[in-house]
Structure 1
Amino acid sequence: MAVEGVHLLEHIQTPAVIVSRGQVSFANAAAKALLGIHIVGQDVRIAIRDPRAVAVILGDGGGNAKVAGLSVGGSVWEIDCKVIGIGERLVTLYDLSVQVSVARAHADFVANASHELRTPLATVLGYVETLMNPKAGGDEATRERFLKTIRHEALRMQALVSDLMSLSRIEAVKHEVPSERIEMVSLAREVGGEFRTGGSVTVSANCEEAPVLGDRGQLAQVLRNLVDNALKYGGKDGVVQVSLEATNTGWLLLAVHDDGDGIAPEHLPRLTERFYRADTSRSRAAGGTGLGLSIVKHIVERHRGRFDITSRQGSGTTASVMLPLRQD
């Protein structure tokens, strides 16, 4: 390959190597960072230890091949080989890891969502078919019990669809920074008041006002999800405490605490994953969708904030949100 061409390859960010008669005769900086500086002068079968890739590189016509784990475990790379002379090949490497990871995440999400919908739907269909039988459907007590179950499962599906739509809307605007002035103390008191019939919710603040730049509907959803979770999984007849603290460093700390049984440490890192539940049977019985904390995390990230959950078994759970205060 001409000297000018080699010089150009040295300045591109895509890993590129030249293979001459089965040996690596040149590697640009990106390739050395990926495969190691020792690859220059090395047999290509040792430099790239993948039979399919080597077959393409040493073949007569060039071509493409996918290689797994070239950089780190789980990574996926595409190797593109071009014949540039007799016994000489230009090999470029493209990182497909992000695309593959996103595609896998989407596939997992669809599979999980389908499973979550299939379970209550199967229950509804089973009970409806039973009620269509004159013997079961004619018994008033049985009919009432079955209809309550059908209603419960239908509400679960409705909540799941609603949460899925919320996630979709949040992701659609996640790169748009919210710009509306939202006063969080009054919003917290307003949302806390919505739960008068569902449990005891107290709201306290170290300031009269705590303005942030945000999306009012989404921030209200954060508060509702956290308070709802605290009421569902907190101790029986316990009090859910919502506190707001404006700090002198320009942040608002919003915390929602319950007096429940707490969460085992191994569950804490995964609580914001979609459909993850620390207690599956309890969550479903309470009508949970497994998406509430994932929604909270996405909204907080859109607002350039931070979200964390701390818990000790027997001492309750605290969900904390930090948001940047509006600097007037």
Structure 2
Amino acid sequence: MSEIDNGTQKSRGLAGQIVGRIIRARYILAIAVLALALVLVSGVSFPVLLFLGIVLLLAVAAFTPVQGPQEKQSSRSEGMEGGLSRISGERLAEQLPDPMILFDAGGMVLYANKAAREAFQPLTEDTVLYLRFRAPEMHGLIQGVIADGQPRAIDYFERLPLDRWYKAMAMALDAGAGKQASFVLLFRDQTEMRRIDRMRSDFIANASHELRTPLASLRGFIETLQGPARNDEAARDRFLQIMQKQAERMARLIDDLLSLSRLEMKAHIAVTQSVDLANVLNHVVDTLTPLANGLEVTIERQIPAGSVKVMGDRDELIQVFQNLLENACKYGQSGKRVIVRLEEDGNSAGRDVVASIQDFGPGIPSEHLPRLTERFYRVDVETSRAQKGTGLGLAIVKHILTRHRGRLVIRSQVGEGSTFVVRFNAPEGRS
């Protein structure tokens, strides 16, 4: 079968070559047919006619141009060049996401793409780069590449209209002999990377600070117990209780740090399970009722008797509402009551499930509300530590709700209490 297939392919290839030659020689063939027609009209005998036909066919074969490999490659290259020529360099540059500026040996802008015009307004042709970018490092970059044509790069900070960090790269373009030299400036936006690095540094600094305080306390008490209070039984019992509390504080902080780390690792993984949020809230209320009773706080439930389904991870949602309800009981203790509410909100965009936890405590000043979900941010540091807070609880809540495509809204009025509202997009149908 393979030999037959190979023979068929060769036959098709030969037929294709013959057809191609005929197409290329169509004008010569037309002349040959016309000549034969004239000979026939003139009454020439068949042997002479046959001889003339053979001569004409040989002439066609001899004078038909045949494309060799180099000619074929040249033809293909010409076709590619024709296609590329239709896509102008300016059109390509306009689509680049990073700013790009062409300039001459005098530092004058020859062209700036759309990203550059938007990032570095005002920037037009004939703008002098030295006047637009006044930072000394930018002047050094431009002057250096003009002087020796060697590519180089610097870190550049643009303050207006917004703080942006760029990696600015300059290089010379090959203009060709006899043409004016030109150069290109490329800017790679590093702002997000810098922001993440700064957040990481701040996070490490804050975590270190939070751990250093209890560690220093533990070391101090251990030294005291080894020295002056070695035989003081009353002091030993008091110090050991304080040391236990400090150790528990460090354990809570480490647990919260590990929780944040785990959440960040799976932040991109969407939840696929359906969970009964009414059951979750009832479980959280049952769990924290002893804590509330100890603080003389009453928890009121406004939760439907039936199931209310949302897409979510049960354990993570329990963590969210335990955190919110525990905060309401501790920080809203003076209000003596907390309301846990669950309802469905139908609108034109679909059905939302809204869970809220409301306390009637001192409330939160409005200037603190935008920053409550930041790591280690506290409205009152001493109160937070007295309530055994780590400053990471609401940051964990935010991370979990982001993964669940949920929204956290915080409403508070000083002297009237606070309400933490969690809104979910409900799945289709209800069981």
* TM-score interval, normalised by the smaller of the two chains: over 0.9
CA contact (8 A) 2:334 2:362 kept: no
- Structure 2 unmatched ranges of 5 or more: 1-84, 175-179, 293-297
Verify: 1:293 aligned to 2:387, yes or no.
no
SS of equivalent residue, structure 2 residue 320: helix
Verify: 1:279 aligned to 2:380, yes or no.
yes
Deviation at 1:4, TM superposition (A): 5.3
CA distance in 2, matches of 1:208, 1:110: 45
CA distance in 2, matches of 1:30, 1:237: 54
The one of 281, 294, 308 aligned to 1:210: 308
CA contact (8 A) 1:188 1:203 kept: no
SS of equivalent residue, structure 2 residue 111: strand
Deviation at 1:289, TM superposition (A): 0.2
Partner of 1:262: 363
Partner of 2:129: 44
SS of equivalent residue, structure 2 residue 289: coil
Structure with the higher fraction of residues in strand conformation? 1
Classify 1:181/1:7 alpha carbon distance in 2 versus 1 (closer, same or farther; 3 Å): closer
Deviation at 1:236, TM superposition (A): 4.2
The one of 71, 90, 95 aligned to 1:11: 95
Classify 1:78/1:72 alpha carbon distance in 2 versus 1 (closer, same or farther; 3 Å): farther
Verify: 1:140 aligned to 2:233, yes or no.
yes
CA distance in 1, matches of 2:281, 2:310: 13
Verify: 1:113 aligned to 2:211, yes or no.
no
The one of 63, 69, 76 aligned to 2:165: 76
CA distance in 2, matches of 1:147, 1:16: 65
Partner of 1:238: 336
CA distance in 2, matches of 1:79, 1:73: 17
Verify: 1:194 aligned to 2:287, yes or no.
yes
The one of 193, 206, 222 aligned to 1:99: 193
If asked which structure has higher relative contact order (CA below 8 Å, sep 6+), I would say 1
CA contact (8 A) 2:152 2:169 kept: yes
Partner of 1:56: 141
CA distance in 1, matches of 2:91, 2:273: 51
CA contact (8 A) 2:342 2:353 kept: yes
Verify: 1:326 aligned to 2:326, yes or no.
no
CA contact (8 A) 2:94 2:113 kept: yes
| Structure 1 runs (4+) greater than 3 angstroms displaced | 2-8, 70-73
Question: TM-score under structure 2 normalisation?
Answer: 0.72
Classify 1:290/1:28 alpha carbon distance in 2 versus 1 (closer, same or farther; 3 Å): same
Q: Which amino acid aligns with 1:292?
A: G
SS of equivalent residue, structure 2 residue 428: coil
- Structure 1 unmatched ranges of 5 or more: none
**Identical positions, percent:** 36
CA distance in 2, matches of 1:11, 1:197: 62
CA distance in 2, matches of 1:207, 1:268: 33
CA contact (8 A) 2:278 2:304 kept: no
The one of 208, 226, 248 aligned to 2:324: 226
- Equivalences for residues 173-192 of structure 1 within 5 A: 173-192=266-285
Classify 1:176/1:71 alpha carbon distance in 2 versus 1 (closer, same or farther; 3 Å): farther
Classify 1:51/1:263 alpha carbon distance in 2 versus 1 (closer, same or farther; 3 Å): same
Moved more, 177-186 or 236-245: 236-245
Over aligned residue pairs, what C-alpha RMSD do you find? Answer: 1.9
CA distance in 1, matches of 2:123, 2:290: 70
The one of 258, 282, 303 aligned to 1:165: 258
CA distance in 2, matches of 1:65, 1:166: 38
CA distance in 1, matches of 2:344, 2:93: 53
> Number of residue pairs matched?
326
Moved more, 190-199 or 77-86: 77-86
Partner of 1:66: 155
Moved more, 87-96 or 194-203: 194-203
SS of equivalent residue, structure 2 residue 269: coil
Structure with the higher fraction of residues in helix conformation? 2
CA contact (8 A) 1:207 1:246 kept: no
CA distance in 1, matches of 2:281, 2:91: 61
Question: TM-score under structure 1 normalisation?
Answer: 0.94
Give the structure with higher Rg (CA). Answer: 2
CA contact (8 A) 1:160 1:289 kept: yes
CA distance in 2, matches of 1:114, 1:283: 18
SS of equivalent residue, structure 1 residue 41: coil
CA distance in 2, matches of 1:272, 1:38: 39
